[in-house]
Structure 1
């Protein structure tokens, strides 16, 4: 049976794996193992659910391990009653890398499904990018015929997919994580930086693979060489004068737009500062008007002047 072409992982599976790790192996060098549930259609493995399985392995001897497959069968029957469409499509491990016993564990999982996939979830990722990597076991035959065929893990393209209900739940979970004070420009620049860091790490992996292949430490894989040749053929020729000029013009236009936008923001900020100052001064003048009674320049007309009391008519009452 041909292997899967693509693996789609749902957010619920990631949350379940992290919860399983925090409950069992947090602050330790152990790893946890579980079963992946979903469906496979036209080469695409859609992983929608998962559950944990009791697993132990010897730290000194990696060939000694234990996985409770009886527990696996009981829990799977219970999940089957809830959703009959979900079947076992593979298993997960918190890795963070492939280990020696993974091929044997994969053989055990293959009793419950054809062509199981292994998804390694890094609960504490050190690199930028998706913390998941999917693999599929396939028979490999050496071209020179010096060795017998053996199974090896091949990488499978992986992505994160979600339904409408899951998207709403993820947005609620990430609502408090997102900082609303960060501008859109800062977010875009941060995304560009993360993308460049991810590209740099992938280029380092390619360089390391080519060095190992040249030194004879790893066998030559013609499929990888073909993909690398396609990448090199798609790279633009930076020595062409027209391309360099076009890139320079495009960069200058973008920087001009950023510069003009910065000037406009500065002018608007100064304008608002002046308006705010004028409003504050106007309020101060309105709130504290000068009282005529307190003004020494204004004469008080209510009190009689000296000598006016004597000029009153004799018939008037005092």
Structure 2
């Protein structure tokens, strides 16, 4: 059992779990499913998941395992790099049936992880936890299982970050949702540049406070800043004309794309008129 295991969860997994919980049957109090991703050198990265229909009784658990296998095989055709790494369940605790479900996933992958997501929003937030399981008991005696919490973190690819930022803009005043459209390329570049300048201003203010003795220095932050400065020194100098050429190239590509789109639309209309 690897207690130093790190579990990294992508935002799309959380959205899929919440969607499965919202679509559950009226008599289902808990939803479970399979976690897909990769496991390498003590890091489990969860990039996908799907729901597995099941029913929990007082003394047993009924799950549609054939359905789970079929969905996993279909997913393998789309993304062969995603393997079974564990299972998930809604709720904020490990139940008596969790060990039974965990035994099945222990046969599907080595050292599966168990992730719980509190969809009831207890405490005003959605609690995310990850566990590993170890067998307990004496030889030829009564066996049990113990779930131990491990480190769980949220991670995201760059496209996922853009999607998350766009989703945040859909929340209007008073908790009402609104429709938003993705910004143009130049607007995204301008927004990213503005955020970068804001971050640089915060760094400069922090360094000035430390040098003036008004704030305590952080050695970890100092090492990060030193590494950042070394990276900047190794970059080639950007002159104004080079930046201008880059903007011109971007505008040329956008213009050509619009011309090609217009040409295709004209071609479709001419083809339609000719066929008539």
* TM interval, short-chain normalised: 0.5 to 0.7
Which consecutive residues of structure 1, in runs of 5 or more, have no partner in the other structure?
180-248, 251-318
C-alpha distance in 2, partners of 1:140/1:128? Answer: 35
Instruction: Give the structure with the larger strand fraction.
Output: 2
Q: How far apart are residue 95 of structure 1 and its match?
A: 2.2
Q: Classify 1:155/1:21 alpha carbon distance in 2 versus 1 (closer, same or farther; 3 Å).
A: same
- Corresponding position of 2:147: 153
- Corresponding position of 1:229: none
* 1:7/1:45 contact within 8 Å kept: yes
- Corresponding position of 2:209: none
**Residues 190-227 of structure 1: CA distance to partner in whole angstroms, max 9, x if unpaired?**
xxxxxxxxxxxxxxxxxxxxxxxxxxxxxxxxxxxxxx
- Corresponding position of 2:9: 9
Q: Classify 1:110/1:87 alpha carbon distance in 2 versus 1 (closer, same or farther; 3 Å).
A: same
Indicate the SS of the match to 2:135.
strand
Indicate the SS of the match to 1:127.
helix
**Residues 93-117 of structure 1: CA distance to partner in whole angstroms, max 9, x if unpaired?**
0023111010010001111111111
Q: How far apart are residue 150 of structure 1 and its match?
A: 3.4
Matched, 1:167 2:161: yes
Number of matched residues? 175
| Residue pairs, 1:1-318, within 5 angstroms | 2=2, 5-25=5-25, 30-58=29-57, 61=58, 63-127=59-123, 131-140=127-136, 150-177=144-171
Q: How far apart are residue 129 of structure 1 and its match?
A: 5.5
Q: How far apart are residue 33 of structure 1 and its match?
A: 0.7
* 1:25/1:31 contact within 8 Å kept: no
- Corresponding position of 1:220: none
Indicate the SS of the match to 1:24.
coil
Instruction: Give the structure with the larger helix fraction.
Output: 2
Q: How far apart are residue 138 of structure 1 and its match?
A: 1.3
TM-score between both structures, scaled by the size of structure 2 = 0.58
Which consecutive residues of structure 2, in runs of 5 or more, have no partner in the other structure?
174-213, 216-276
C-alpha distance in 2, partners of 1:155/1:113? Answer: 19
Q: Which has the larger radius of gyration?
A: 1
C-alpha distance in 2, partners of 1:23/1:29? Answer: 10
Question: How big is the alpha-carbon RMSD for the aligned residues of Structure 1 and Structure 2?
Answer: 2.7
Q: How far apart are residue 141 of structure 1 and its match?
A: 6.3
Q: Classify 1:118/1:85 alpha carbon distance in 2 versus 1 (closer, same or farther; 3 Å).
A: same
